[in-house]
Amino acid sequence: MDRKQMCVANVQYKKPTANEAKRAKGLLRYLTYRESRDEGARYAAGRERWEDHGMGGSVAEIAQHCEALQSQHVLLFSLVYNVNPDLIAMVAPERREQFVRELTVQTTEAFFEQRGIDGGLEYSFVTHHRQTDDPQSPGRHDPHTHVVLPGTYYDDGLGERVPLYFNRNKSVDHITMLHDLTEQQVAEQMDHYVGPDWERRYDDLAAAREAQLAIIEQPAHGTFETDDGAINFWVGSRRTDEQISATGYYRTLEADEVEFRPLIVGLKHDEAELLARLLHSEIGGDFAVLRQLADGINEMSGVEREAFFADVRRLDFSPPDREPDLDIDIDF
């Protein structure tokens, strides 16, 4: 796999102005009380939201430390660690929070140790458990952390606090250093939490998705109208992760790009592929019919869906030179 796709590690900062200080408190409240823009925080009894490494464990404490430890140009730095959801999906659900918390502590401390800042840097972080908003695979578990750092750190050699900075130039590129350390840490943890074959498993998932994308080499299964004109679509399936797939449609975008849009999710791999073939054969190129049939399947009870897929598995999807036997009623 491309190691640069393993984890996002972004750094931003706020200036020590009255307006930015107000924004910083808003950011801290957001990080404390939200999982994402659309999800409120989920609390566990007896557990603090923030993990305190010197900056505090509440909005008030962290805001106070940011103000007391600011530099001339920086009130606070905020750092995000967000592991690729395809990798997180391989980690047992009950161990995912431990995974991202360990990643945060180990990478942050290794980063500043490599920079020679080994004893005077405070930070606190919060773990969020949002759901992915990726249109191709929405709703997957996407745990990540937000780290708050002060604008200064204590320099043992000078015996005083000095400005914290993140250079990005030819001689010193702290952002690249952070990304490299994050990739190394994620790889080590995947070995520990998942096993040494995690990279092969990721590549197998990517290869399966690439094979499924080959459906767009066929003539389009139909078109639908948008404000920007007609868009081609192909009924197909896509691996969500190693365990489940979705049936939906691939559609063309600008610059010849293609994206998948799921319509029926949480399927076994064979169910998704068979269902895609069935829907393609039934819709006659009509996108509205595709949506209607997908809605009907989604409305089925568990028992109804189990019986439905038992019937689907008995269908004979013959080669194109023979008339397929698709004797199944999916009118809703």
Burial code (b: 16+ CB inside 10 Å, e: under 16) for 163-190 equals ebbbeeeeeeebeebbbbbbbebbbebb
Residue 98 lies in a domain: yes
Residue 323 lies in a domain: no
Final residue of a structural domain among 136, 168, 196: 196
Q: Are 65 and 172 in a shared domain?
A: yes
Residue 279 lies in a domain: yes
Distance of alpha carbon 80 from alpha carbon 95, whole angstroms: 19
Q: Are 69 and 185 in a shared domain?
A: yes
Q: Are 166 and 22 in a shared domain?
A: yes
Residues 6+ apart with CB under 8 A from 104: 81, 125, 127, 145, 147
Q: How confident is the model at residue 126 (pLDDT cuts 50, 70, 90)?
A: very high
Residue 330 lies in a domain: no
Report the candidate in 175, 49, 69 with the shortest Cα–Cα distance to residue 122: 69
Q: Are 118 and 267 in a shared domain?
A: no
Q: How confident is the model at residue 168 (pLDDT cuts 50, 70, 90)?
A: confident
SS3 letters across the chain: CCHHHCEEEEEEEECCCHHHHHHHHHHHHHHHHEEECCEECCCCCCCCCEEEEECCCCHHHHHHHHHHCCCCCCCEEEEEEEECHHHHCCCCHHHHHHHHHHHHHHHHHHHHHHCCCCCCCCEEEEEEEEECCCCCCCCCEEEEEEEEEECEEEECCCCEEEECCCCECCCCEHHHHHHHHHHHHHHHHHHHHCCCCHHHHHHHHHHHHHHHHHHHHCCCCEEEEECCEEEEEEEEEEECCCCCEEEEEEEECHHHCEEEEEEEEEECHHHHHHHHHHHHHHHCCEHHHHHHHHHHHHCCCHHHHHHHHHHHHCCECCCCCCCCECCCCCCC
Q: Are 142 and 75 in a shared domain?
A: yes
User: Over the stretch 172-202, which tens digit does the pLDDT of each residue have?
Assistant: 899 999 999 999 999 999 999 999 999 999 9
Domain containing 226 equals: 210-313
Residue with tokens 């408190």: 25
Q: Are 156 and 55 in a shared domain?
A: yes
pLDDT given at position 46? 46
User: Over the stretch 198-215, which tens digit does the pLDDT of each residue have?
Assistant: 999 999 999 999 999 999
Residue 320 lies in a domain: no
Distance of alpha carbon 32 from alpha carbon 30, whole angstroms: 5
Q: Are 108 and 63 in a shared domain?
A: yes
Average pLDDT, integer, range 58-77: 95
Residue 332 lies in a domain: no
The CATH number that applies at residue 100 is 3.30.930.30
Average pLDDT, integer, range 282-288: 95
Q: Count Cβ atoms within 10 A of the Cβ of residue 155 and give its class: 0-12 exposed, 13-18 middle, 19 or more buried.
A: middle
Global pTM value: 0.88
Final residue of a structural domain among 162, 196, 230: 196
User: Over the stretch 6-44, which tens digit does the pLDDT of each residue have?
Assistant: 998 899 999 999 999 999 999 999 999 888 877 887 765
Q: Are 305 and 167 in a shared domain?
A: no
- The total of structural domains in the chain comes to 2
- Average per-residue pLDDT in the chain? 91
Q: Are 190 and 54 in a shared domain?
A: yes
pLDDT-above-90 percentage for the chain? 77
pLDDT given at position 39? 80
